[in-house]
Homo-oligomer: A and B are copies of this chain.
């Protein structure tokens, strides 16, 4: 999660909402990315989606099995849905997102009984640091 926080900080310095993500498989860091929505003009360029795409390319298949995704903010519905698509086993997130979090806050796509894959979730890891980055970012802009 320290690595994910570094990515979040770097994203904030680029003018992006400061969120960072890291994908780990078998104890090895496969990919790390920060949010790039503004710089890429891409509504799908959240840190989680970018890291899943990188990891799949590196691992050579769209199923990213036995992996853990670390992200500084609870994923939105798009990103939680992508974790299910990629068959990611575990999600560890920092700050909860009561407004749009789809790993248990606003809704829960990680353990939906109807979907063909569920994701184990642990939230609140280094949540204060992750939340503080976001608060400072929005305080400057509002």
- What are 9 A-B contacts with C-beta separation under 8 Å? A41-B61, A42-B56, A42-B57, A44-B86, A76-B81, A77-B84, A77-B109, A77-B112, A80-B81
A116 touches which of B43, B100, B115 (Cβ 8 Å): B100
Q: Find out whether the CB atom of B43 lies under 8 angstroms from the CB atom of A85.
A: yes
Q: Which residue of B lies closest to A114 (CB)?
A: B106
By a CB distance below 8 angstroms, the chain B residues around A106 are: 112, 114-115
Q: Find out whether the CB atom of B43 lies under 8 angstroms from the CB atom of A52.
A: yes
By a CB distance below 8 angstroms, the chain B residues around A114 are: 99-100, 106-107
By a CB distance below 8 angstroms, the chain B residues around A96 are: none
The verdict on A82 contacting chain B, using a C-beta distance below 8 Å, is yes
Binding site for B on A (CB under 8 A): 37-38, 40-46, 49, 52-53, 56-57, 60-64, 76-82, 84-87, 99-100, 102, 106-107, 109, 112, 114-116
Which residue, A43, A52, A57, has most C-beta atoms of chain B within 10 A?
A: A43
By a CB distance below 8 angstroms, the chain B residues around A115 are: 77, 100, 106
Q: Find out whether the CB atom of B84 lies under 8 angstroms from the CB atom of A81.
A: no
Cα A53 to Cα B40 with chains together (Å): 9
Q: Which residue of B lies closest to A113 (CB)?
A: B106
Q: Find out whether the CB atom of A62 lies under 8 angstroms from the CB atom of B81.
A: no
